[in-house]
Structures are given as structure tokens and as C-alpha cells.
Amino acid sequence: MSNMNSYEAVTSRSNEILKKALGMDYSKLESGGIAFDYEKMMSETGYSFEEIIRIQREAGVGNTPLLELKNLTALIRKISPKGKGARIFVKDEQCNPSGSFKDRRASISAYHAEKNGYKGIVAATSGNYGAAVASQAAKRNLKCIIVQECYDSKKIGQPEILEKQRKCECLGAEVVQLSVGPELHYAFLRILEETGYFNASLYSTFGISGVETLGYEIAMQCRERFGKDPDYVIATHAGGGNLTGTARGLIRAGATGTKIYGASVDLTGLHMASDIDFNRKSFTTGHTGFGVPYATDPDHSDVPRSAARALRYMDNYLIVQQGEVFYITEALSILEGMERGPAGNTSLTAAFALAQELDEDQIIVVQETEYTGAGKHPLAQLSFAESMGIELKFGDPKLDKPGVNIIFPEHPSQIKATYFDMNRLKHSYIKNAVKHVNATKATKEDVKFLMEETKMDKDFVLRVLEELNIEII
């Protein structure tokens, strides 16, 4: 390997490579301190909201149905105090071309790439986004490369990840398969540099703007059917783009009274970059291993400034257990006749728990479903977990220990979400924001920015900055 292509050399050129692959100069957004111009960045797509809707409709994306889960709601009311048991609806995003809401993200990137003369697009993902990018690339006659972290060092891959690899290839993409580790970002940068293809990043303004239509549709559909906005919208939270885009769409529709909750599977104790832990987790997305780091440090993504900034919009963060999600996945199939993939069922599990606390006339919308397949099916995931030495049993799901066991509830009344400490997340975010630019001082502009980023008042921000020995100027 030449010195120019060494890990250190390639990663040192990261900003230059990414700027060319996105056609966006992030340096123009910077203030020189902690703050940067987030809303200006979001406007840099160059497309109006109406144009984004048109682009998506032309590609068969969006306008998905809002379905009421009447049987699940009836079950909730049987196990809830009298008068409790909110109505649960799901936005059935499986109806998009590749089977998930991520078609909304991919559609704008593919359109922009074609419009600006790129010959192909690249995405680094082991999830549904790869299939979405491959699908939208096919519609635009673009080449597509998906860089996927799919194996441990023993060449063992989870069935869910391998299913997504199969789907990407089925839709015409070239899939570059890697083992877990830092080589993912390195390989991604080299491919972008060598091909000159467009970076269809999950965290670009194009991706997040594409999801805004999802939140907007939810508000419009609820108003048309019920004459009001939903009381709660719950989004499965991993990298933050799902929640950010949906929340921005709700706000665009004027649904400012709707509470936005994130939901993740508790995988505490498992490290996402660990070769040992890689195959001991039964969820490849929508878990705390992504949800917490990306909420508290969004800019450690594949773009200099991530457009996915969940703490700007998240009112609460609900944590559920592995066994609870598998239980609700089965319940959705048996009670509602809907076989859907694992990620959306994380937020559905949180909704099932939350609904028990709310009045019967309140409405919760689970904002996405996704396709399922042989490798994504619970039986495949659980069989794989057992082969990796994970104990499967019924009992109290709160005794679940990630990487050791999966405990299914013996009764639906045992499904109870845990509320994550939001102040802790916001404290960590401010600490990382300071570290990101090696700040020793903060201006009034910086303080205002941190208030917006954390949805907190000035006193909270100033108190955290004082703890960090940051001088206010």
C-alpha cells in the first residue's frame, strides 16, 4: 500500500473527499466556536418542501397508510387501569419501494446525484438504508455501492445483516462486505475517492429533509381522520435521522403540541465496535449502542456536521428490552395480521407500554414499519442467538442481560418501558460539543445554540459549561 492510501493518509483527507462527494462546503456554516448554522445547513439541499414531495412521488415513495392497531389496543385496555389505554396507529412504511421509511432519505440523494451528473452513489450501512439506496439508484440508472459491516473476525454474520446484503444485491448494488472495526470508514472514503460517486449519507441534509415528509403526512392524516394532531409520535432511535426528520415534518405541519418520543432496545454492556460483542446482539439498529452515542455526539458520523440531531426534538427517550420487542413482533403478526421487521417494532413496544399510562381518547402514532424477510424474522434471529450461547427463556424481561440472555415476558402486563435520563444525555451532548472544537470559551451565540440543541433553558446550559470550566464571553 502506498503512503497516500494508508489509513492515516486517507482519513486525513476525509473532509476534502466528503466535500467533493456531497458538493457541500460545511466550513461556511461554522462560527469559529461551538455554534454552527444548523438551519442554514438544512436549507442547503436547494429543494423546497413541495419539490421534495414531488421527487418522492415520482419515485413511488411516501403517501403510506396510517393503520389503527385495534386488537393490540384492546389488549392494552384489558391490562390497564379503567379509562386508560390510548389508541395505537402505525404509519405503514413497508409500502415504500424497498420496504422501509429509508426510501424517503434515499430518494432525494439519488435524484440529486443524477441531476448533478454523478455516475453512481455510495452508502455505508448494514441496514435497510442500503436496500433503499440500491432501489432508488436503480430507478435513476445510477451505479450503486453499499459498504457493509457484516461479519466478525471468524466470518460469522448475523442473519438479519445477511438478509439486507441479499436485498441490496437483488436490487443491483455491489456490496463490499467487511468485518467489524475501523476499516468501514476507511473503505468508504477510498471508494468515494476512487469512483467519484455521490455520498448518499444517512446524515446529510438530503437524507433528513426526505424524512420530513413522513412527519408531515402523519399530521395531515390524523387531522383528516380525527380532527386533531396525534398526542404522541414514537420513533425508533438509532442514528437520529428517523426522529429528527419526522419531528421537523410535524413542526412544519404546525403539530407543535405533539410529543416526540424516541425508543431503543437496551443493549447496555455490548460495544458496537467489539468483535466479541458484534454477534451477541440480536438487534442491528434501534438500540442504545447507537441511540446514546448518536444523541450525545451526532457529529461522529460520515459527514462533518450531521443533520440528524435528535436532542433538538426528543421530548423523552424510552428504553425497552430485547424479549419485549420479540414478544410484540409476534403479537403484531398474530393479533393484527401484520408481519413486519424488527426496528419499527421497537417503537411499537414502547407505544404498548406508554399506552397503558394514557387515557383512552389519546392517540399514539408509531411512525414506521419495515419489511421483514427470512433473515430478519424473529425465528432466524433467535436461533442465531441460541447458537451463539445466548439463553432464551420466559420470565421478567427487566432481568434481561444483553449478550447473556433474552427473556420474554410471561404476560403482556410485564411490558414496561424505562425512561432514560434526558438531562444526562444533554449534559453529555454539551461536553462533546465543547470537545468537538476544543473550546475554552463560549459566546452568547454558542449558549443560544446549545439551548436549541438540547431543548433546555439558559441556566442549564450555563451550569454545564461552568462545570466544564468554559469561560462565557
At 382, which CATH number? Answer: 3.40.50.1100
Tell me if 102 is assigned to some domain: no
Give the total number of structural domains in the chain. 2
Find all residues with CB under 8 Å of 360, minimum gap 6, and list them: 77, 83, 84, 85, 86, 87
Closest CA to 93 of 121, 132, 122, 120: 132
Interhelix angle 102-115/49-58, rounded to 10 degrees, is 100
Phi, psi of 191 (to 5 degrees): -65, -45
Phi, psi of 150 (to 5 degrees): -130, -5
Q: In the prediction, which pLDDT does 208 show?
A: 96
Q: 259-265 and 174-179: which strand pairing?
A: unpaired
Closest CA to 320 of 396, 414, 415, 395: 415
Tell me if 459 is assigned to some domain: yes
Q: Are residues 444 and 310 in the same domain?
A: no
Mean pLDDT by 10 residues, the chain (473 residues): 80 88 91 96 94 98 98 98 98 97 97 97 90 97 95 90 92 93 87 96 95 98 98 97 98 98 96 88 92 96 93 98 97 97 95 98 97 90 95 97 97 97 98 96 97 98 97 94
The Cα 404–Cα 391 span in angstroms is 6
Q: Are residues 236 and 326 in the same domain?
A: yes
Q: Are residues 220 and 315 in the same domain?
A: yes
Closest CA to 24 of 10, 7, 36: 36
Q: Are residues 214 and 288 in the same domain?
A: yes
Q: Are residues 361 and 453 in the same domain?
A: no
Q: Are residues 298 and 395 in the same domain?
A: yes
Q: Which helix (H) or strand (E) holds 261?
A: strand 259-265
Q: In the prediction, which pLDDT does 140 show?
A: 97
Q: Are residues 294 and 442 in the same domain?
A: no
Concatenated DSSP letters for 411-444? SGGG--PEEP-HHHHHHHHHHHHHHHTT-SEE-H
The Cα 29–Cα 434 span in angstroms is 17
Q: Are residues 323 and 342 in the same domain?
A: yes
Q: In the prediction, which pLDDT does 302 show?
A: 85
Interhelix angle 378-387/159-170, rounded to 10 degrees, is 130
Q: Are residues 468 and 320 in the same domain?
A: no
Tell me if 70 is assigned to some domain: yes
What pTM did the predictor assign?
Answer: 0.96
Q: Are residues 294 and 385 in the same domain?
A: yes
Q: Are residues 347 and 468 in the same domain?
A: no
pLDDT tens readout for residues 200-221: 999 999 999 999 999 999 999 9
Phi, psi of 175 (to 5 degrees): -110, 120
Examine the fold and report which residue of 419, 442, 459 is the final residue of a domain before the chain moves on.
Answer: 419
pLDDT tens readout for residues 326-347: 999 999 999 999 999 899 999 9
The three cell numbers locating residue 425:
444525555
Sheet holding 198-199, edge to edge: 174-179, 143-151, 120-124, 198-199
Q: In the prediction, which pLDDT does 272 show?
A: 81
Q: Are residues 344 and 292 in the same domain?
A: yes
Tell me if 104 is assigned to some domain: no
Residue numbers of the domain that contains 344: 55-97+207-419
Q: In the prediction, which pLDDT does 2 show?
A: 60
Tell me if 75 is assigned to some domain: yes
Tell me if 113 is assigned to some domain: no
Examine the fold and report which residue of 401, 419, 437 is the final residue of a domain before the chain moves on.
Answer: 419
